[in-house]
Amino acid sequence: MSRKRTAILISGRGTNMGALISAAMAPSYPAEISLVLSNRPDAKGLERAAEFNIPTAIVDHKDFSGDREAFERQVNAVLKMHNIELVALAGFMRILTPFLVDAWTNRMINIHPALLPSFKGLATHERAIDEGVKLHGATVHYVSSEMDDGPIIIQGAVPVLDADTPDTLAARVLGVEHKIYPKALELVASGKAKVTGARVTSGESADDTAALVWP
């Protein structure tokens, strides 16, 4: 089996990066983590990647005087240098331009802490509580030119409890993120995640009678 060379792009701790690295340690997993790249030299996730002997790279966005495309061209050059085939964004806090999105169409995925298309952007947990939703969660999707958009690969949901604070809800959602991101990368790297328009099909079977209801 040819494993897809995958880069993880981070800006901070890289908690989802850790979940992807753990999954990729299995020889049967269809992706190998070949590079961890950060736009911040002080990102803690770089140290963690180095502990697993994964090559790391830094492309500091501050070196490009606000020229986002020039920054992305350097990121792209580093990805090519490492023969990367797939890109997983894991807390990469940069709004991407069409250049990088187009260069990696259907080969770049992202995780967002909400059930898209609801609650795009920041402060998702606070907004979920304020809006009174009963279910919240996380979404892994292909990256498109619009922020927090693109065909949805997989979602995971958790209940919003009456006593929840943004922090307690965030912790519950993070647990879901660590489960669904490795599964999503597996589907993409294996070629099972097929994009047709705005939809992704994977051929994964499910119990058609199952329903998630809360409360």
**Active-site choice (61, 82, 112, 125):** 112
- Pure H helices in the chain: 15-24, 44-51, 68-81, 98-103, 124-131, 166-189
The verdict on whether 125 is a catalytic residue reads no
Strands 86-89, 56-58: pairing kind: unpaired
- Pure H helices in 61-164: 68-81, 98-103, 124-131
Q: Which residue has the tokens 């830094």?
A: 58
Strand, coil or helix: 87: strand
65 secondary structure, DSSP code: T
**Residue 22 — φ and ψ, nearest 5°?**
-60, -45
Side chain identity at 188, as an amino acid letter? Answer: V
Distance CA 187, CA 12 (A): 26
Catalytic residue positions, numbered: 112
